[in-house]
Amino acid sequence: MDLIHDFFKNAVFSYRSNPSVYRGGHNDRFLAAVESDRLIIRSEGSTSTVATDVLAFEDIVAVNHGDLTMQITLLEPRRKGCRSKAGRRRRDVYLRREQASNT
């Protein structure tokens, strides 16, 4: 858990999710925060309390990370639809830590 807190502490990220839950531009920057049992991703500079993405720790099945990147694989619950069965769907989230500028 300390690894996750240290990775997200005071950092700005580029964010991508497959399948996508967010339709933003490629140059958008995001902040991530660990709150109780989930990871909250919000757009940087947003005055809204609406989260871009919420990752529940109970849904996370794998985490791969390097110095500046983290890939999180989730199995999220999927509701039964008229053409699909209930079950779980895989989703990959990619976060890349932005380097601090030396200006």
Determine the distance from the C-alpha atom of residue 14 to the mean position of all C-alpha atoms in its chain, rounded to a whole number.
10
Around Cβ 52, how many Cβ atoms within 10 Å? 19
Q: Is residue 37's pLDDT more than 80?
A: yes
Mean pLDDT of 12-41: 79
∠ at Cα 98 (26, 7), nearest 5°?
Answer: 120
pLDDT tens digits for 42-83?
888 776 678 888 999 999 999 998 888 999 999 988 888 888
Residue 71 is predicted with a pLDDT of 93
CATH topology of domain 2-97: PH-domain like (2.30.29)
Element containing residue 90 per DSSP (H, E): strand 87-97
Residue 99 is predicted with a pLDDT of 72
Structural tokens at position 32: 């991530």
In this prediction the pTM is 0.78
CB contact at 8 A, 13 and 30: yes
Binned at pLDDT 50, 70 and 90, residue 22 comes out as low
